[in-house]
Amino acid sequence: MKQLVLAGGGHAHVQVLAAFAQQVLPGVEVTLVTPQPVQWYSGMVPGVIAGRYSAHEAQIDLAALARRAGARVVLDAVVGVRPDARQLRLASGGELAYDALSLDTGGELSRDLIDGAREHALFVRPLHAFMHLWPRLQSLAARQPGLQVVVIGGGAAGFELAVAMRHALVAQARVTLVAGNAGLLPRFPRGLRHRALAVLKSRGITVIADDAVEIEPGQLRLSGGSRLPCDAPVVALGVQPPAWLAHSGLRLAADGFIATTASLQSVSHPEVFAVGDVSCRIDAPHPRSGVYAVRAGPVLAANLRAWAAGRPYAMYRPQRRALALLSCADGTALASWGPLSARGAWVWRWKDRIDRAFVQAYRDSEPLVSLSLR
């Protein structure tokens, strides 16, 4: 039997497992390496925080999905790859040999981007750790009225988390969004930025267009020198390459993520596939978001099948534009598509339907639904 190792239960690998559950991969033993038996679906996490979903509604049971796919589950984390020996190093100290490796482990949120953050801040990634701590932040806010919560990060996740926390903590906490020097949602069209700023203003969330440079107990220092009262800093910045990649021997792109081709293979080691935030398509770079990891999933499943059968590979062409749907936590959401933007309850219903369908597809042994919109 050939050995295929799937590392990480990200957006593409859940689709691969669902595809293998529908049609087994003959002659191949599949192993999933994941630190957690369940995967939080990030698109619904702000909704969980705002109280719109239960935790269960926003989770995918990776262990059950792997079982249906006939895959072995190893509850562990990859901490190194020796591609020339085709071996993985695991956090537990063990090693795992593979004939083909597929990486969908996402990016990491560095603890050291802001001085003092490692000691004093909450980090939104890994999501399971953050969601474990969220109820404690809620009870702290209940015990300490006027708690100063500062969300650091002006991207979509920072916006959604700031409004969700404000919604959940209502009068118990003050929420500030430190959006960075580039301001709020810098990669989004102007119309959406205006709408998002209006939402934040209407909730009493202060937006600061400056970088956080140091976190100390009770306060946060900005690059302009001013200080901000801060009891609970929440870091929601963009992801960095996992530290273990640096010495992996896999060719990396300039940004430090795994350089991949249109067939989702490593440019240096064709038996290594990589998708989602951990990878960088050197021929067609695109932003890191769940949309692209989702879209790459079916192509990855087809190519792992092609690898097993010795057939030619399919190509994944990332879409030029991605639909972005941002929850405002009050039953409305923002949408942007190219230069267009909108806000309304209909946008929330649209997002809700897409997100629920994604998670639901992996809950039962139902056929894969269309995932094209995320």
Ligand X SMILES: Cc1cc2nc3c(=O)[nH]c(=O)nc-3n(C[C@H](O)[C@H](O)[C@H](O)COP(=O)(O)OP(=O)(O)OC[C@H]3O[C@@H](n4cnc5c(N)ncnc54)[C@H](O)[C@@H]3O)c2cc1C
Return the number of the residue (25 or 103) whose C-beta is nearest ligand X: 103
Position among 212, 290, 336, 356 found at the interface with ligand X (CB under 6 A): 290
Alpha-carbon span 348 to 222, nearest angstrom: 34
Binding-site size, ligand X (CB under 6 A): 34
Closer to ligand X by Cβ: residue 32 or 221: 32
Q: C-alpha distances in angstroms, 103 versus 124, 147, 168, 227, 297? A: 21, 40, 35, 41, 12
Backbone angles phi, psi at 70, to 5 degrees: 75, 20
**Closer CB to ligand X, residue 189 or residue 216?**
189
Report the residue number, 21 or 45, with the smaller CB distance to ligand X.
45
Candidates 139-147, 173-181, 283-291, 336-344; binding stretch for ligand X (CB under 6 A) = 283-291
**Position of tokens 């092609």?**
306
110: phi then psi, degrees, rounded to nearest 5: -65, 135
Is 161 a binder of ligand X (CB under 6 A)? yes
- Report yes or no: 223 and 207 within 8 Å, Cβ to Cβ: no
Q: Among 288, 295, 305, 343, which residue interacts with ligand X (rule: CB under 6 A)? A: 288
Kindly give the interhelix angle for 127-143 and 156-169, rounded to the nearest 10 degrees: 30
Nearest distance in Å: CB 224, ligand X:
26
Nearer to ligand X, 31 or 176 (CB): 31
Applying CB under 6 A, the span of 110-118, 246-254, 285-293, 311-319 interacting with ligand X comes to 285-293
Kindly write out the interface string for residues 18-57 of this chain, putting x where it contacts ligand X by CB under 6 A and - elsewhere.
Answer: ---------------xxxx--x--xx-xx-----------
Q: Which stretch binds ligand X (CB under 6 A): 154-162, 189-197, 260-268, 342-350?
A: 154-162
Decide whether 29 or 216 has the Cβ nearer to ligand X: 29
What mask of x and - would describe binding to ligand X in positions 52 to 81, judged by CB under 6 A? -------------------------xx---
Binding mask 105-144 for ligand X (x = CB under 6 A): xx-----------------x-x------------------
What is each CA distance from 176 to 131, 202, 277, 309, 333, in whole angstroms? 20, 13, 27, 54, 20
Q: Does 281 bind ligand X (CB under 6 A)?
A: no
State the minimum distance, in angstroms, from the CB of residue 131 to ligand X: 10
Look at residues 49, 330, 287 and name the one whose alpha carbon lies nearest to residue 198.
330
Residues contacting residue 225 through CB under 8 Å, at least 6 positions apart: none
Determine the Cα–Cα distance for residues 189 and 207; give it in Å rounded to an integer. 18
Q: Which is nearer to ligand X, 101 or 197 (CB)?
A: 101
Query: H or E element: which one contains 34?
Result: strand 28-34
What are the beta bridge partners of residue 3? 29
Binding window for ligand X (CB under 6 A); candidates: 10-18, 113-121, 136-144, 312-320: 10-18
CB closer to ligand X, 58 vs 221:
58
Distance CA(272)–CA(7), nearest Å, equals: 11
The answer to whether 253 touches 86, Cβ cutoff 8 Å, is no
Q: Measuring CA to CA, which residue among 154, 146, 147 is closest to residue 208?
A: 154
Query: Which positions from 229 through 268 interact with ligand X, judged by CB under 6 A?
Result: 242
- Token digits for 300? 């990855």
The contacts of residue 69 (CB under 8 Å, 6+ apart) are 17, 18, 20, 21, 24, 30
Min dist. Cβ of residue 36 to ligand X (A): 5
- Separation between Cα atoms, residue 60 and residue 281, nearest integer Å: 27
At its nearest, how many Å lie between ligand X and the CB of residue 130? 8
Which one of 180-188, 217-225, 270-278, 307-315 is the stretch in contact with ligand X (CB under 6 A)? 270-278
Residue 336 engages ligand X in binding (rule: CB under 6 A): no
Residues that bind ligand X (CB under 6 A): 7-12, 33-36, 39, 42-43, 45-46, 77-78, 104-106, 124, 126, 157, 160-161, 242, 276-278, 288-291, 293
